[in-house]
Copies of this chain bind each other. A is one copy, B any other.
Amino acid sequence: MLNQNVLALGKKRSTIREIFEFGNQRAKIVGRENIFDFSIGNPNVPAPDSVQEAIRDIINTKHPSSIHGYTSAQGSEDCRIAVAESLNVRFGTDYSAKNLYLTVGAAASLSVCLKALTASPQDEFIVFAPFFPEYQVFIEHGAGAKFVVIPAQVQDFQINFDEFEKKLNPHTKGVIINSPNNPSGVVYSNETINRLAALLSTKSEEYGHPIYLISDEPYREIIYDGIKVPFIAPSYKNTLVCYSYSKSLSLPGERIGYVLVPNTVDNFEDVYAAVCGAGRVLGYVCAPSLFQHVITRCVADIADISIYEKNRNILFEALTSMGYHCVKPEGAFYLFPKTLEENDYAFCERAKKYDLLLVPGTGFGAPGHMRISYCVQTETVQRALPLFEKLAKEYGF
């Protein structure tokens, strides 16, 4: 008599959650410091000091009603202006408050966009493996649309365009990309973005309706080696950007982010209105108000991500020298190497013997891989290396 889909989703402990619980049990036996938990994507770098200072200052100088009151559903104008101007300075764009709808984090941003765009249960949204597993939940159960996966291009985790073209059809309503990527850490190249944009433009014209590009960008600022991540929206006119401050400001629990609807989107005003309507339908009243004030002040700040880059360098070099094969990540805080046997579940199970907690790639749509979240202490990474080596030796490396 309950909604069986949501019941199943509520009951099913996710693989990551299973691993987390295993870690808790083992920690009781061998001590927390001897558990090498690379399973959770929870930023371990603290929020920048400016965030705590902003909170103190807001509490000390503003009236409680103005701090904690309702804002308009799309977010306070001050915050939306601050976000728009920050994007304009960085990317040479020309956004204003009216292009922004503040949300309760990236999951809300995605849910709202998918709900706004889904006009029929026949509508299809395409994702590229490896992908964030909740996309399937939001597409199928939140929006009620069809979930279509393009297999991974494992040599570089860019887009497999041959497979992609086969799946495009008049029911394709949108495509989700996530660069820098969870779980691969890969950043889409300019070539990938341009080819994607050209193909979507051609197909939109062919089908007589826009194919929306939903660009999920929570890791946009978590990048290494001084690379520039292409800002995707200007490359393709029907792009909706989903953003969250969870990673860039290390505020994952505060649930604050936005949807950006550029003026270039066909029927911009309708799409923006549909985003607002979807927020209303899903029960999002406004983004948390104190953190709208915080973002207004800290929009240009970023947590100290140097620890992530250090961890990536140590892990990537060590693992590749041990015989693991891995595409070098340029962003986010994940490595996604091949497992040393085809069955990624069996491999990750074997790793548990060493209290190495890794996540099988199958859940991300890329079997034969494992996700290593390196948002942990560098010391943990260093002490884990001999264990990764022992594990490799079991496979004859």
Give A residues with C-beta under 8 Å from B.
1-11, 42-44, 46-47, 51-52, 55-56, 59, 63-65, 67-71, 104-105, 107-108, 110-112, 115-119, 134, 137-138, 141-142, 173, 209-210, 250-255, 267, 270-278, 280-292
Q: A46-B63, A55-B55 are in contact. Are A108 and B290 (CB under 8 A)?
A: no
4 nearest interchain CB pairs?
A253-B289, A10-B277, A111-B283, A6-B277
Q: Which residues of B contact A2 (CB under 8 A)?
A: 116-117, 119, 267, 270-271, 274
A1→B254 contact, CB < 8 A: no
Bound-state Cα–Cα, A291 to B289, Å: 11
Most buried by B among A67, A141, A271, A282: A282
Residue of B nearest to A1 (CB): B209
Most buried by B among A67, A134, A173: A67
Residue of B nearest to A255 (CB): B288
Q: List 21 A-B contacts (CB under 8 A).
A: A3-B116, A7-B116, A7-B270, A10-B116, A10-B277, A11-B270, A44-B65, A51-B64, A51-B68, A55-B55, A64-B250, A68-B250, A68-B252, A68-B253, A107-B283, A107-B284, A112-B283, A137-B281, A138-B281, A138-B283, A282-B283
A3→B250 contact, CB < 8 A: no
**What secondary structure prevails in chain A residues at the interface with B?**
helix
Q: A10-B273, A137-B280, A137-B281 are in contact. Are A70 and B47 (CB under 8 A)?
A: no
Residue of B nearest to A63 (CB): B46
Bound-state Cα–Cα, A328 to B191, Å: 69
Q: A46-B64, A56-B56, A138-B283 are in contact. Are A3 and B278 (CB under 8 A)?
A: yes
Bound-state Cα–Cα, A254 to B273, Å: 23
B64→A6 contact, CB < 8 A: no
